[in-house]
Amino acid sequence: MGNPEQLAHKDFDVEDVLEQLNIDEKISLLSGTDFWHTASVPRLGIPAIRVSDGPNGVRGTKFFCSVPAACLPCGTSLAATWNTELINKAAQLQGKEAIAKGASVILGPTTNMQRSPLGGRGFESFSEDPVLAGQMTAATINGIQSTGVGATPKHFVANDQEDQRMAVDSIITERALREIYLMPFQIAMKHSSPWCFMTAYNRVNGPHVSEDPKLIRDVLRQEWGFDGMIMSDWFGTYSTTESIKAGLDLEMPGPSTTRGHLVGPALGCGKLRVFDIDNCVRQVLKLVRKVLPLSIPEHAPEGTIDSKETAALLRHVSSDGLVLLKNDNSVLPFKKDKSIAVIGPNADFAAYSGGGSASLLPYYAITPLQGVRNQNKDAQYALGAPGWKKLPLITRKLKTADGRQGLIMKVYLDPPSTKGRKSIDEVYVNDSNMFLADYKHPKITSSLFYATFEGDFTPTQTSEYEFSVSVAGTAKLYVDGQLVVDNETKQLPGDSFFGTGTQEEIGSIKLEKGKTYKVHVDFATLPTMTFKVPGATAFGAGGIRIGCERRIDRKTELEQAVALAKTVEQVVLSVGLNAEWESEGYDRTTMDLPPGSDELIEAVIAANPNTVIVVQSGTPVTMPWLKTAPAIVQAWYGGNETGNAIADIVFGNVNPSGKLPLSFPIRNEDNPAFLNYKSERNRVLYGEDIYIGYRFYEKTKKEVAFPFGHGLSYTTFEMSNLKLAIDDNTDEIIVVINVKNTGSYDGAQVVQVYVSQESPSLNRPLKELKGFTKVSVKKGEVVKAKVSFSKKYATSFWDEARDSWISEKGRYFVLVGDSSAKVPFKDEFEVERTTCWKGL
């Protein structure tokens, strides 16, 4: 048949190939071959194709020593743009990045709902509202797939927490499941045609989703008409027969653990029939055929498209999602020619992404301090308070023998106790958070091997220095031969490495300024670990994270920051979370900022009234200083251009136009899922039912810090002349309203349209978002904003007694404004008769 790479891009007939495949070849196509590739059938010219994370960038095939990539802002930041056209452009960039990385399918977007501020992957998701999340998902899918790359909305469905995510049973009423948790996926299906879906880890009302025929076959395929490929989340296939019969086409990753050699016996005893296998194989082959025009060779080398155009788009997307929460007395924008200080734990730290599957190695990452200095080179800096959950990475402080920043890793097959052992590999490492699941070497035949890490450290001041090690494996750290950290003799379970690793072990040693010390770490991989975490996803060789920082005296740092704040005319106070506070594998334990941040904010505000608080987080944080803070910007995790985007907003290069895609409660105790969040005996009750986010806060008249859809501007807008039209032929409601820019800056406004039923036959939210648009308006000008949406979708709720959607006869109100709490414009329409429906 010749070279398989030459055959890989020839078109083929799926049914013809299906007939020619033998049973072993069919079984091979039911699972991946490794972390990122499907199986090939060389004799028939069927190539392997590559998939890649993720929701805010394309990592490629490696966690360890990966090829750099464009990092987009996190999901909540993307949704905060309320700009589907811009999200479509950003998704096109993702598609091009995938092609550069040799990937035909992107594992994203993340379409789950934000039940609670504490969700570990909340930053990955778009919104607490299914319409906003669904529209953002559709825009992302359409953008990615316009490049010929497949998109994979995930995690279908109700994967809304990390606690016991593989075992937990999400107990949800059918109404809430339909109206809230399935709805964004349903909207995505209505407005786009995704080529793939990924199933969730969890159970829903009993069965695991990956083997639930109701959700996969009945809802996704039959009701919604999905005719693409369905894959599992990684290690999220828990059965052979059940998952195949339910319609889970592809088990990931490979080599197979639940299919492979287990499918043959299932066929032999009649639990599976060949046509069950064919149904799954057919979808895999259809996907391979769809991506053939990309002409990506099997196991293609990974490249980059780092360019000025990429940087400009990333900067635009990041700044468009920043939300001006508060701006008393027009403190912002700041003046570039006035003295300025950038203070805080996130100032000189690039919090560009959350952790877990969303993480990647960016082309570069601009800190807020760098961003401000790019526009005011004399900006001063103070730490103020530590904001790290774990000590900062040691690679920022170490040099290799040849002068590069970082560490030298040497790999061994034998433990340190073996005399005369010889290394089999030597690798330069510039990131001391090392997940080794995809590290490969021809002499390594199992997950068990050993490594050393070495670098030179020359302190800039005499001080007590703290060193730390978190590990999925075992490790010891030495400084000039002295044992400083022992994470081998005694190990405690922690949240590192997707929840499989240890707590951070910390040791300290006094070091002298200017003296060079040899830092040495002995490491052994995951099989040497002294405990296992039930329900955690264990990946191959595990990993190690090494940190270092001088011991911080919080009182001294605070005093220095306050003293600096008093000497300048303007202060950017950069606080928030980072990829270690918000990550896949575990949930947040509190809604608070890291210890010391609130005290720092209060002290700096008191010292200088011209202070803006810039908060970086993917989900809400508590703000006990809310009333006294002059100005607050919610900056999320902004990708490569994080710092430049923040500076653009602070200095007024860009007029802020972001709106919150989720409510910010005052306290965690106020949120609707508070009593029912996290797993209890492997189950979580969705007790808030349909009352998620603003639906709950409005129904209970509970005060929030900032409402859903809120966001200020440096200019002012006036809406007027609301007009409503209904096209019964197309099932469209068309809302038109004038938006006038009455201020002194060009800007953009988001028109939000909510619908309320006057006399529903059961309890419903006071109003629900049904449509929106973002319009740019120059100062002094007027623009007509048009929002259209489905009347059927706008009026219906799920009737459990009928097992269908129902649009009831009666009067409905259309409410228009610029946040869920500010909808001053009102019109109404009638539904003439009650109708029931299913499908899209």
Task: Tell me if residue 558 falls in helix, strand or coil.
Answer: helix
The token duo for 834 is 């009650």
Report the C-alpha gap between 645 and 69 in whole angstroms. 18
pLDDT at 407: 96
Mean pLDDT of 267-274: 97
Q: Is the dihedral of CA 111, 114, 120, 125 positive or negative?
A: positive
Closest-CA residue to 57 (of 111, 85, 94, 103) = 94
In DSSP terms, 457 is beta-bridged to 398, 517
Task: Tell me if residue 301 falls in helix, strand or coil.
Answer: coil
Report the C-alpha gap between 620 and 602 in whole angstroms. 19
- What domains can be seen in the chain, in order of their start residue? 1-46+232-289 (no CATH), 315-388+553-652 (3.40.50.1700), 390-550 (2.60.120.260), 717-837 (2.60.40.10)
Task: Tell me if residue 716 falls in helix, strand or coil.
Answer: coil
Query: For residues 505 and 468, is the Cβ–Cβ distance under 8 A?
Result: yes
One-letter amino acid at 797 equals F
Does residue 6 surpass a pLDDT of 60? no
The token duo for 749 is 């406004």
Mean pLDDT of 794-806: 98
Query: For residues 770 and 794, is the Cβ–Cβ distance under 8 A?
Result: yes
pLDDT at 537: 66
pLDDT at 192: 98
Report residue 5's pLDDT band, with 50, 70 and 90 as the boundaries.
Answer: very low
Does residue 336 surpass a pLDDT of 70? yes
Q: For a pLDDT cut of 70, what percent of the chain falls above it?
A: 98
Cis preceding linkage at 109, omega within 30? yes
Closest-CA residue to 524 (of 415, 625, 607, 603) = 415
Instruction: Give the pairing of strands 611-616 and 517-524.
Output: unpaired
- Tokens 């805080």 locate to 344
Does residue 8 surpass a pLDDT of 50? no
In whole numbers, what is the pLDDT of the chain averaged over residues?
Answer: 96
Q: Which residues of 120-129 are buried (b: 16+ CB within 10 A; e: fewer)?
A: bbbbbbbbbb
Report the C-alpha gap between 522 and 477 in whole angstroms. 7
Task: Give the global pTM.
Answer: 0.96
Report the C-alpha gap between 12 and 34 in whole angstroms. 24
Return phi, psi of residue 364, to 5°.
-165, 170
Mean pLDDT of 525-551: 87
pLDDT at 180: 98
Closest-CA residue to 558 (of 568, 566, 550) = 566
pLDDT tens digit string along 217-257?
999 999 999 999 999 999 999 999 999 999 999 999 999 99
Closest-CA residue to 776 (of 79, 73, 83, 75) = 83
Radius of gyration of the chain (CA): 27
Instruction: List C-alpha distances in Å: 136 to 13, 68, 71, 768, 772.
Output: 34, 26, 18, 17, 11
pLDDT tens digit string along 648-694?
999 999 999 999 999 999 999 999 999 999 999 999 999 999 999 99
Closest-CA residue to 618 (of 17, 80, 50) = 80
Mean pLDDT of 547-567: 96
Report the C-alpha gap between 363 and 70 in whole angstroms. 6
Instruction: List C-alpha distances in Å: 754 to 11, 517, 716, 749.
Output: 47, 63, 22, 16
Q: For a pLDDT cut of 90, what percent of the chain falls above it?
A: 95
Instruction: List C-alpha distances in Å: 592 to 262, 312, 387, 512, 666.
Output: 48, 33, 12, 36, 11
The token duo for 499 is 């929840």
Instruction: List C-alpha distances in Å: 601 to 253, 618, 824.
Output: 45, 19, 35
Report the C-alpha gap between 159 and 163 in whole angstroms. 10
- The catalytic residues are 233
DSSP 209-240: GGG-HIIIIIIIIIIT---SEEEPPTT----S
Residues contacting residue 444 through CB under 8 Å, at least 6 positions apart:
411, 413, 424
244 Rama sector, left if φ>0, alpha if ψ -120 to 50, beta otherwise: alpha
Q: How far is CA 831 from the centre of its chain?
A: 39
pLDDT at 2: 35
Mean pLDDT of 203-217: 98
Cis preceding linkage at 54, omega within 30? yes
Mean pLDDT of 311-331: 98
Mean pLDDT of 402-412: 96
Report residue 7's pLDDT band, with 50, 70 and 90 as the boundaries.
Answer: very low
Q: How far is CA 317 from the centre of its chain?
A: 15
Range with the lowest mean pLDDT among 273-277, 447-451, 498-502, 512-516? 498-502
Cis preceding linkage at 520, omega within 30? no
Return phi, psi of residue 610, to 5°.
-90, 65
pLDDT tens digit string along 583-625?
998 999 999 999 999 999 999 999 999 999 999 999 999 999 9
pLDDT tens digit string along 563-573?
999 999 999 99
Q: Is the dihedral of CA 493, 494, 495, 496 positive or negative?
A: negative
pLDDT tens digit string along 80-89?
999 999 999 9
Does residue 3 surpass a pLDDT of 60? no
The token duo for 153 is 């909305």
pLDDT at 728: 83
